[in-house]
Structure 1
Amino acid sequence: MQALPIFIKITNRLCVVIGGGDVASRKVNMLLKANAAVLVISPNICHELQALAEAQKIQYMQASYAAAQLQGACLVIAATDDAAANAAVSRDAQAFNIPVNVVDSPGLCTFTMASIVERSPIVIAISSEGNAPVLARYIRTKIETMLPTGYGRIAAIAGEFRDKVKAKFATTQERRIFWEGVLQGPIIERILSGQEAAARKALDDVLSEKAEVKNRGEVYLVGGGPGDPDLLTFRALRLMQQCDVCVYDKLVSPEVMELVRRDADLIYVGKVRDQHTLPQEEINELLAKLALQGKRVLRLKGGDPFIFGRGGEEIETLMQHGVPFQVVPGITAANGVSSYAGIPLTHRDYAQACLFITGHLKDGTLDLDWVAMSRPRQTVVIYMGLVGLTQICQQLIAHGVSPDMPAAVIQQGTTQRQRVVTATLSDLAEKVTAAEMKAPCLTIIGEVVQLREKLNWFEPNAKGHL
């Protein structure tokens, strides 16, 4: 290690930036985040710095550089395109014992600017000591994807309770054990899911009862998206990695399942038409039962839990049992599959509305709102409509939709097994049968389907355009 990583408090302290271009602007913005009093010195400044000066967020001195300008500064940054001026700033700052950074010149620096991951008050700085700033930024990006934005809120709430914890636990070891229990339990999940009031109450309860943090069970109702694991949210992935048991559906792709914690218990409750592994009511009770046993239960669903996913029914049961839960939305099939098929759901020339329909009702009948589905200038997206596809097409034509209306059926959309059949209402069912399409499939009906020929961009390994 060639440099000591430290954090310097510069709140309301003078920081001088020599230079007025875009690079100087980026450095100024970083200093302002730390509440510094910034003075920019340059003959000219860019529009961004001019706006900051006019808003009185920085001081601006329109002048060429002179050593006397550094007097009183706690640090200096040189960001000009003049090598001689940059060298002079470095030399003068060091003579005044002021820390100095010269952009892109490690040899002239007494400190370097790290690449920052900010979850204030948590701040992570990555430095290559000026040797590889692009690599440092790349590492920062990796950490950004791993660290939830809510960690800053965790730190802030921990700060609020610091004195209370110190008053209860006499030794450092006792306090460490307490906080480790908190960080691994449901209180943290409440903070990360935005339930900060509930988290504070839980911490107060634990401290007032002088009890250990209990690892109470919880249910994570997570949307697994349409199939491509890259479409998962950061929160979904984090919860998938920390669950004790995963209750999952048939529509969750194998690639997504691969990301579930390796040693979690897996319980399959998938549904095939008229063949339910577990009735929905029993699934609801199973989730509550597992959570009441103290387990962290991942209820993993394809698409989004609240769009034909029966998530509402499941959390009603959880609420009846007093089980904590959180809901993580997923990209629903209509959005993900249509995008990967190159079919925009709305388009100002073809469709100003979009209608989501489930292809079978609760009692298994096909009694849909055909009038609403037959309106012009809209896109109709049908989930789970493969079995009733012939009747759907016939009914739409009977209710006034043109037999030549473009339509498509997409099988296993967003995955490398994606297959697409495009046709018209008059021959869609026939072509789908000939192609031996299998569930899960999504049906899209509307003028927007004709755009697929122009907008198709996704090429799965197994060529899927029929």
Structure 2
Amino acid sequence: MGILINHSVENTVALVVGDTPLAQSRYERLKSLGASPLLVSVADFEIKSILELGRQEVDNIVDSVYVATGEKDLNLARDIAAYCKKHRVPVNVADHPELCSFTLLSTYSEGDFQLGITTGGKGCRLANRIKRHVTKSLPPNVGEICKRVGELRYQIQAEDKVDISVGQHDDDADQAADFNKLVLESQAESIEEKKKQRIRWLSQIVEYYPFSKLATLDPSELSREYGRTQSVTDTEEESVRRGRISLVGSGPGSEDLLTKAALKEINTADIILADKLVPSQVLELIPRRTPVHIAKKFPGNAERAQEELLELGLEALEQGKHVVRLKQGDPYIFGRGAEEFIFFRDHGFTPTVIAGITSALAAPLYACISATHRNVADQLLVCTGTGRGGTLPDLPEWVASRTTVFLMSLHRIEQVVEALIKEKHWNENVPCAVVERASCPDQRIIRTRLKHVAEAIKANGSRPPGLLVTGFACDVITPYPQTDSEQKWLVSEGI
């Protein structure tokens, strides 16, 4: 097993040895990538040339060697591989991964996007088939998406001079634990403060937006959002009220968990106003003809983004359109559903409300947690870790026979845990689970104890949306690390 890297060969000298069509192909490919390849036949090859034909600035040692000689010259290939490894020259021998210091991947490229598949040399063209299968699911404009996101990133960093954690923009970076860190509305009042948050907003829209919209991102749109401070104004002119609005729950994540009623509303909408956290697989079900607006709820802008959605919804309703307000989970479980219902009703449009499966119930199930269990848990409580204006709410007292699900709490988990243990006298050894992206293919579960959960999240990073499940019901089906174990948490990926 090795580290997969994207190695630039531009202006390097690569020695290709062999008389086969593959040797010619390797030569042409290296040349197209900006290298200066040398193609040498088996008859003309001298092993000392490895140390003589390279660039002068690296003492004439070639930068890499590609051997494509075939089985009849296997002994020569072995000698070349041994010589290269002795002199620390990267070497690839076709069909013999055991002789290689690096192997070549089955690749797909579009613009700045590159995809590589390897089976460690054991695939018998399996890597190529896997590549074809994977590329079918890529968005058609993936190269443009990479270009656009990169342009926005560089523009934001140049304009706002934002300091970021080392490596957070590298391709191998996981989400940092502070990716979804709480930002109070009061902390983001000035334009200068809002500018500092643009890089975080870009990271979040890259994470949440469907691919079809990433290629159309516009930096001027971001700038406008930071300059807007007006609250919603009343409509002065009375319009004919012909539109209708639906508050639709989209469930916890998987498109398979949408109700028929929700799908019917989606398919008949004239415009859809979606939460940021509605997963892409649900958004992809929206007909292409239907305009979609996704909430710009970047850190510190939640209230303004909510106001914008209400404005857009009201404007569309007054034009006689069918508006679908697509919400994650269930509209009435910590989703501002009642607030929106009252707003639109007060403006003359009484919404239809379509129930959705809340993650508070679905996530425990997908994490193999029976929220209630005889002689273990006879109560289930759903609460939030974030009150109005970002405050810490009055958290529940400790009840041993209760399973408690905390929504909107992982971004301030240290505060929540401290309050539970010190103020509410919770058992610090109670088992708990962090369930992220419940029911989605990239679901992740971190199983631990309450006293270790903040440390576990910091160590493993953030993959929102997520929630915290606590209670002794957590380890009825799936075992957890023992309280005296050196292993503080267990992580499982996928469904």
TM-score, reference length from structure 2? 0.47
- Pick 1 or 2: higher relative contact order, CA cutoff 8 A, min separation 6: 2
